[in-house]
Amino acid sequence: MTKFLENKLFRYLSVFLFLNSAILPIKSSSDLAAWEISNNGVLELRTKSNSNLKAYFQKANQIYGDRFWVDFPGELKNPRTIKGNGSIKEIRLGKPNNGKTRLVIEFKENTYLKPLTWRMVGLDQNRWRIKLFNPKYSFKKIGEGLVKKREGNNQANQNSNFKKKSNYDYLQLPKVKQNKFSVVIDPGHGGPDPGAIGVGGIRETDVVLEVSKIVKKLLSEKGVKARLTRKNEVDLDLPPRVYFANNMDADIFVSIHANASRGKRRDINGLETFYYRGWRGRLLAKKIQKQILRVSPGSPDRGVKQGRFYVIKNTRMPAVLVEVGFLTGRLDARRLEKATHRKRLAYAIAKGILEYLNKVG
Ligand SMILES: [Zn+2]
């Protein structure tokens, strides 16, 4: 659960964040709008909305000190170097190749960095944050532009277009054959077992029950027979959930959960979907994972994985367990506590299910 990214440290630490970025014209201007390293060692970035960034770390060699850099789509106009202070030697803004922008932060020798713990977190569709170091000596903030600037007219328009488009998408849930399919939705935990407890006391059981109910409603509206394993705060063991689905001979089983990280780390966020066996289970997981990521920009894609959870292992039909985000994560928790986001997640899950039924059913 906390192993995220650790196996990806090779020579670089890659913090790949895949978003729904549009394909940009080759000569578009840089996606980097503003950056700032504050005196507590945190780098903040403001970019175009839903920009597709890539972050890297490389250990010092004969030529350079330890370096962290971020690549942005869009071309930088004026490459430049900015002198650092404290632990930072210098900051370079460059053009690694045409149509790209690279922000490089080079550290001084003997700066004690812990890149294994680094996580770049999307604060919003256009803002990013990563803690790079703990200043040993005083560090004076460096930056260009306003990272917290309110979006200008142009961006606001883009944003409302984005919203309109997504709302429109939601209304376009795929059609499936009426009264043909039956689906069991399983809201995780319940009753005396609240599941994960997150930032500000937000409880997994509440989040997943609400999401599940909306999924059920949306599926019903599409002529799918959808049933919940629990409708309220009751203590429901795992075997009855499985029995319910097997007995009903449901076409698919979808268990909905929210994550918590060990030690309640605020920097761990992301979505993942598990299946236990079969290409159908995997396909269902993929369809759902793709949709929930679309409504959670900036939150890492932890992928579609095989998992041995009781409810997906013992159900006889294609079955998945969805983790809709980390209640302990700074980015995810802030979203999961909002009813609008829970609704979006429900739409996304319903859409994934309907796409699957359309393809396989
Ligand atoms: Zn859970």
pTM, rounded to two decimals: 0.57
- For the stretch 226-247, what's the b/e string if a residue is b when 16 or more beta carbons lie within 10 angstroms of its beta carbon? bbbbbeebeebebeebbebbee
Q: How far is the CA of 193 from the centre of ligand 1 (A)?
A: 10
For residue 280, report the distance from its CA to the centre of ligand 1, in Å: 23
Task: Summarize pLDDT for 145-164 with one digit per residue, the tens.
Answer: 888 865 444 444 444 444 44
Question: If you measure from the C-alpha of residue 35 to the centroid of ligand 1, how many angstroms do you get, rounded to a whole number?
Answer: 37
- Amino acid making up residue 141: K
CA 208 – ligand 1 centroid, Å? 9
Please give the distance, rounded to the nearest whole angstrom, from the Cα atom of residue 64 to the centre of ligand 1.
45
C-alpha torsion 243→249→254→255, nearest 10: -10
CB burial readout 47-80, b (16+ within 10 A) else e: bbbbbbbbbbbbebeeeebbbbbbbbbbbbeeee
In this structure, what token pair is assigned to residue 38? 């504050």
**164: Cβ–Cβ under 8 A, 6 or more apart, which residues?**
none
How would DSSP label each residue in 104-148? EEEEPTT----GGG---EE-SSSEEEEE----SS----EEES-TT
pLDDT band at 21 (very low <50, low <70, confident <90, very high): very low
Tell how far the Cα of 241 is from the centroid of ligand 1, in angstroms. 14
Distance 195 CA to ligand 1 centre (A): 5
How sure is the predictor about 36, in pLDDT bands with cuts at 50, 70 and 90?
very high
- Quote the ligand 1 centre to 189 CA distance (angstroms): 6
CA of 318 to the centre of ligand 1 (A): 19
**Which of 155-169, 215-229, 231-245 has maximum average pLDDT?**
215-229
Would you say 315 and 308 are in contact if contact means Cβ atoms under 8 Å apart? no
What is the CA(144)–ligand 1 centre distance, in A? 42
Q: Using DSSP, state whether 225 is helix, strand or coil.
A: strand
C-alpha 60 to ligand 1 mean position (Å): 42
pLDDT tens-digit readout, 53-97: 888 888 888 888 889 999 988 888 888 888 898 899 999 999 888
Model pLDDT, residue 191: 84
When pLDDT is cut at 50, 70 and 90, the band that residue 27 belongs to is: low
CA of 58 to the centre of ligand 1 (A): 36
How much distance in Å is there from the Cα of 107 to the middle of ligand 1? 41
